[in-house]
């Protein structure tokens, strides 16, 4: 199973979009059409890379747009870039999401006491390869961090690309501590402080910021897959989310290949100037 991307517009503009195609060349939704599992028996998951390591543009699956292309987040009319909070440069992992998952905003998590953030579950790929924007990778789940983002549960699942040469050495969160010392501490620090340059307070965490292990993380991913199943079958209210898909045959939102192509062709874009506010360091005293 392979996937390709098609870019529309110019990067670092509000019109820029990254659409996805399957191996037959048909347009698909990265949210709904890419299977959650790459190998269910071995708990290997697919992940969509939204933000390659060391880059700053806050790209994300556009959950409210037809076919859910990647686009850059906009806040108060401006493109969103993550600040370089010293000593970090951009994102310190390949950052993305697991398809066919959904953190239900109507479900209060029994562990965190907060509801979901209405997005697919996030991943941080700690592999050595710097992936490409829109790349679909196969990942092993190692653990998770429970970020509480403005009162919502926002799981950050720690994974490693199965094609990484060291993937066989990583099977649980303690392997990350042992083989990549300092990486988990840097990850916690990154998520704690990345919004401070925007004038917001430090983020909070459930479990006192403790990373939970592989089994806990896999159970969390699987629970968000169940929430997605209810979403795509219209057993729960989608709200503003767009559930258009081309492969979930029993979904009332399933569309034809022609309908999907029409969505992409209808997207217009302007040749606007790119916004490149990505090189400045931000320092602040802890």
Residue 285, pLDDT above cutoff 80: no
Q: Over 121-182, what HEC string results?
A: CEEEECCCCCCCCCCEEEEEEEEEEEEEECCEEEEEEEEEECCCCCHHHCCCHHHHHHHCCC
Buried b or exposed e, range 76-100, using 16+ CB within 10 angstroms = eeebbbbbbbeebebbbbbbbbbbb
d(CA 79, CA 97): 20
Q: At 219, is the pLDDT very low, low, confident or very high (cuts 50, 70, 90)? A: very high
Residues 204-229, mean pLDDT to the nearest whole number: 98
Q: Rounded to the nearest 5°, which phi and psi values hold at 48?
A: -100, 120
> What pLDDT is attached to residue 278?
65
pLDDT in tens, 155-208: 999 999 999 999 999 999 999 999 999 999 999 999 999 999 989 999 999 999
Q: DSSP letter string over 11-67?
A: TTSTT-EEEEE-TTS-EE-TTTTS-SEEEGGGTEEEEEEEE-TT--B-EEE-TTSTT
Q: How many domains does the chain have?
A: 1
* Residue of 221, 219, 217, 214 lying closest to 98 (CA atoms): 221
Neighbours of 75 (CB within 10 A): 9
Residues with Cβ within 8 Å of 43's Cβ and at least 6 positions away in sequence, in order, are: 140, 141, 218
How much of the chain, in percent, has pLDDT values that exceed 70?
95
Q: At 267, is the pLDDT very low, low, confident or very high (cuts 50, 70, 90)? A: confident
Rg (CA), the chain: 18
Exposure on the CB side of residue 175, measured as CA atoms within 13 A: 18
pLDDT in tens, 49-102: 999 999 999 999 999 999 999 999 999 899 999 999 999 999 999 999 999 999
d(CA 44, CA 159): 10
> What pLDDT is attached to residue 1?
82
d(CA 261, CA 210): 44
Neighbours of 37 (CB within 10 A): 18
Strands 94-97 and 44-51: antiparallel
Residues 110-117, mean pLDDT to the nearest whole number: 95
Give the domain extent around 204.
4-282
Domain with residue 13: its CATH number is 3.90.80.10
Residues 32-50, mean pLDDT to the nearest whole number: 98
> What pLDDT is attached to residue 269?
63
> What pLDDT is attached to residue 273?
57
> What pLDDT is attached to residue 277?
62
pTM: 0.95
> What pLDDT is attached to residue 241?
98
* Biggest distance spanned by C-alpha atoms of the chain: 55
Q: At 283, is the pLDDT very low, low, confident or very high (cuts 50, 70, 90)? A: confident
């Amino acid at each position: 199973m392979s996937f390709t991307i098609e870019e529309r517009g110019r990067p670092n503009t509000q019109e820029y979009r990254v659409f996805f195609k399957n191996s037959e060349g048909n347009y698909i939704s990265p949210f709904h059409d890419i299977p959650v599992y790459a190998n269910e028996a071995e708990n290997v998951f697919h992940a969509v890379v939204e933000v390659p390591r060391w880059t700053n543009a806050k790209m994300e699956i556009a959950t409210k747009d037809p076919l859910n292309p990647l686009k850059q987040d906009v806040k108060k009319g401006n493109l969103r870039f993550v600040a370089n909070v010293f000593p970090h440069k951009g994102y310190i992992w390949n950052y993305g999401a697991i398809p066919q998952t959904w953190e239900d905003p109507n479900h209060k998590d029994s562990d965190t006491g907060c509801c979901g953030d209405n997005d697919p579950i996030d991943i941080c790929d700690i592999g050595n390869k710097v992936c490409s924007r829109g790349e679909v990778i196969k990942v092993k789940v190692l653990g998770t961090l429970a970020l509480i983002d403005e009162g919502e549960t926002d799981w950050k699942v720690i994974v490693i690309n199965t094609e990484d040469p060291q993937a066989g050495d990583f099977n649980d969160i303690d392997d990350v501590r042992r083989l990549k010392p300092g990486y988990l501490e840097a990850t916690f620090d990154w998520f704690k402080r990345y919004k401070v340059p925007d004038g917001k307070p430090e983020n909070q965490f459930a479990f006192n910021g403790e990373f939970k292990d592989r089994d806990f993380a896999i159970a969390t991913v699987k629970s968000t897959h169940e929430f997605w199943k209810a979403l795509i079958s219209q057993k729960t209210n989608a709200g503003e989310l767009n559930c258009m898909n081309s492969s979930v045959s029993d979904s009332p939102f399933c569309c034809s290949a022609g309908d999907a192509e029409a969505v992409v062709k209808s997207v217009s874009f302007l040749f606007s100037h790119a916004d490149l506010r990505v090189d400045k360091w931000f320092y602040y005293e802890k």
